[in-house]
Structures are given as C-alpha cells and as structure tokens.
C-alpha cells in the first residue's frame, strides 16, 4: 500500500470511529468511506515559492462569517492541463496552508473549496501534492467554521486529484 492509499484508509477510519470526527453520529452509521479521484502523479508538483516582499497578516472569511488570521508568505505558479495557475500560500500555526477552489467545484468537489498543506522540501521549494487535497470539516456538516479560499485562489483550471464531494447518502467506497 502506498502513502496515499494508507492516508486515505486512515482518514476513513478516523471519520468512521473517532470522537473528533466531523461526522455526526447518524452520518457515521451510514459512512462507507470518502470519495476520491484516482491518484494523479502529474499533480504532485515541486514548486518554487515566490515570497512576498514582506509577510503580511491576512484575514480569511470563514463559512460562518467570522475571520481567521494567517500570514501571506507568497505564491506558487504552475501549469495544469495547459493552463497557467497561481495560488497564494499562507502560513498557520501548523505550517503552510493553501485553500483553493478549482473548475471541478461544485459538481465534483466541495463548492466552497478544498485545502492543501504543502511541505517545504528545500529552501523556497514546496511540494504541492494535490492528491492529498481535502475538504474542510464544514463540507460534512454545518457545525464547523472553515476558512474560505480568497478570490485569488479561485481557479478555473480543473484539479482532478484529491477528495471529491461528500455525499450524506450511503455510497460504496470508490476504489483507487
């Protein structure tokens, strides 16, 4: 089992049984696993972080209308399906944070956007593996408050990798 498959299996188990799961008890009873795109190696990208001239505090609006503070540290540029894309990169207490929405939303992926937590693999080089992109907890029920992607991170390109829409109805788990 590769790292991606193991991560997905662990997440499904966490959602199914853990008391910290974002699912309600009723959702857990019918939960058969999250839906994912098949692994897409072409969306595992090593990208140069283009730092901002100065790190500025930004406030991202949440799904409940409040705001959360982040540090805007720069941006990354890449090409997907022959189209140029740019994403702003933020820093939080737990590391790098890239909230984004793409052309798969809302039909295939969560309409409010997905998250990615890049890892720095060398100075100013980030690994953005979109296969690990995931839905925020507010995608599962309204009891959560989640930062929304800023307009700069709402792309038209399709990112066909990572987690798909969550359905509240029982569904057979898609195999990768």
Q: What is the pLDDT of residues 119-158, one digit of tens each?
A: 999 999 999 999 999 999 999 988 999 999 999 999 999 9
Q: Where are the domains of the chain?
A: 1-34, 42-153
Task: Output the pTM of the full model.
Answer: 0.90
Position 43 pLDDT exceeds 50: yes
Alpha helices in the chain (DSSP H): 3-17, 25-30
Q: What is the pLDDT of residue 171?
A: 38
Given a contact cutoff of 8 angstroms between Cβ atoms, the answer to whether 113 and 101 are in contact is yes
Average pLDDT over residues 97-101: 98
CB atoms within 10 A of CB 132: 22
Residue showing tokens 């283009």: 50
CA distance linking residue 54 with residue 115, whole number of Å: 24
Q: Percent of the chain scored above 70 by pLDDT?
A: 95
CA distance linking residue 136 with residue 133, whole number of Å: 10
């Amino acid at each position: 089992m590769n790292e991606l498959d193991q991560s997905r299996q662990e997440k499904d188990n966490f959602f199914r049984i853990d008391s910290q799961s974002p699912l309600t008890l009723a959702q857990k009873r019918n939960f058969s696993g999250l839906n994912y795109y098949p692994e897409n190696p072409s969306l595992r990208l090593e990208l140069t972080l283009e730092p901002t001239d100065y790190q500025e505090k930004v406030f991202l609006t949440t799904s409940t209308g409040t705001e959360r503070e982040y540090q805007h540290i720069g941006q990354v540029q890449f090409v997907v399906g022959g189209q140029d894309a740019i994403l702003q990169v933020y820093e939080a207490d737990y590391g790098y944070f890239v909230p984004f929405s793409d052309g798969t939303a809302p039909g295939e992926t969560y309409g409010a956007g997905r998250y990615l937590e890049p890892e720095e693999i060398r100075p100013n080089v980030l690994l953005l593996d979109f296969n690990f992109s995931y839905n925020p907890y507010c995608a599962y029920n309204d009891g959560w408050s989640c930062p929304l992607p800023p307009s700069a991170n709402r792309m038209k390109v399709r990112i066909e990798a990572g987690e798909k829409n969550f359905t509240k109805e029982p569904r057979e788990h898609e195999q990768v």
